[in-house]
Amino acid sequence: MFSLFQLNGFVAVAEELHFGRAAERLRMTQPPLSRQIQLLENELGVELVDRSHRAIRLTRAGRAFLPEARRLLRQAEQAARMARSASTGEIGSLALGFTAASAYRTLGAVLGVVRKNLPGVEIILREMVKNEQLEALSDGSLDLGMMVRPPVRRHDLDSRIYLREQLVAAIPVGHAFAKSPEPLTVADFDGESVIMYRPAESRYFHDLLTSIFRNAGCAPVFSHYLSQIHSVLALVNAGFGLSLVPAGATQLRYPEVVFRSVELPESSQVELSLVWRRDNDNPALAALLDYLKHG
């Protein structure tokens, strides 16, 4: 089979119609170039260059072969560029998991980083709760997880905190708290009807709110238990009680919900983390993590 080196030599000769100039263009001497053209002709079984005249010219076969030779060289260069891009993560695919809580503020920012810096990377989005993400990361079907969570101590996973945000109060518009200009305190929730997070599906938020109220000596009345933030806000919107939600959830527009700041200790901040499998060798993952770390 002929080589790319032979194709490149033939194209140079065809364009220069002079072995000496073609050899100079390729930064080689004329005899090796002539030998490569002969080897190419032997491989194809046809004469490509008519050497019977003072000025060389292409044969009919050579004229027909020239555009194909150029096409093959372009394809080879494109393949090389793609391989280089894939090795640096500039192209490829990335399976990205996210929770509803991470979608409000962070998902769009991460996708914006990909679009700006890694336009050749295809993102496969998968909305999954935390435990589903952890399993998918472990079995390799997910490259990167975005989740609100306490630290995950698993030997096969790495993680880093990407965002911290405050909790804010979600209040029915007709409630007295909605009209007060001052920030709320945790004590204000004492005896109030509060929509709580379900411990099985939303353990992080359930434990966080429980700790906040317990440490403040506050005893709200937990009227309903739900697992998703948008469901919590829907009940607040319907007037069933107050709740605490991440600040990013204020982007959800409910006509009968007012968001108010609450005086809370720094330890009550919601942490959103990026989680990935430690031995994941996807170059696109490494590239994205680097961009997210530095920008």
Residues 4-56: tens digit of each pLDDT? 888 888 889 888 888 889 888 889 899 988 898 899 899 899 999 988 877 88
Integer Cα distance of 69 and 201 in angstroms: 61
Integer Cα distance of 77 and 72 in angstroms: 9
Helix residue ranges, H only, the chain: 4-16, 19-25, 30-44, 60-87, 100-102, 108-117, 130-139, 203-215, 229-237, 283-294
Integer Cα distance of 91 and 85 in angstroms: 6
Q: Give me the pLDDT at residue 154, please.
A: 83
User: Of 79-93, 119-133, 267-281, where does mean pLDDT reach its minimum?
Assistant: 79-93
Task: Centre a 10 Å sphere on the Cβ of residue 210 and count the other Cβ atoms it contains.
Answer: 14
* 48-54 contacts, C-beta under 8 A, 24 or more apart: 48/10, 48/14, 49/10, 49/13, 49/14
Task: Centre a 10 Å sphere on the Cβ of residue 112 and count the other Cβ atoms it contains.
Answer: 10
Residue 285's pLDDT band, with cuts at 50, 70 and 90, is very high
Q: Any idea which residue has 């962070």 for tokens?
A: 106
Q: State the distance between the two ends of the chain, measured CA to CA, in whole angstroms.
A: 48
Question: Mean per-residue pLDDT for 240-253?
Answer: 92
Residue (of 155, 131, 242) closest to 196 by Cα position: 242
More confident residue, 82 or 101: 101
Distance of CA 263 to the CA centre of its chain: 34
Q: Give me the pLDDT at residue 152, please.
A: 72
Helix residue ranges, H only, 88-125: 100-102, 108-117
Q: Give me the pLDDT at residue 293, please.
A: 84
Q: Give me the pLDDT at residue 88, please.
A: 62
pLDDT digits (tens, 9 = 90+) for 106-152: 888 899 999 999 898 889 999 988 888 999 999 989 999 988 776 67
**Inter-residue contact 186 to 213 (CB < 8 Å):** yes
Q: Give me the pLDDT at residue 20, please.
A: 87
- The residue type of 101 is A
More confident residue, 57 or 152: 57
For residue 30, give the H/E element and its range: helix 30-44
**Inter-residue contact 177 to 263 (CB < 8 Å):** no
Helix and strand totals (H; E) in the chain: 10, 13
Percent of the chain with pLDDT over 90: 44
Helix residue ranges, H only, 118-240: 130-139, 203-215, 229-237
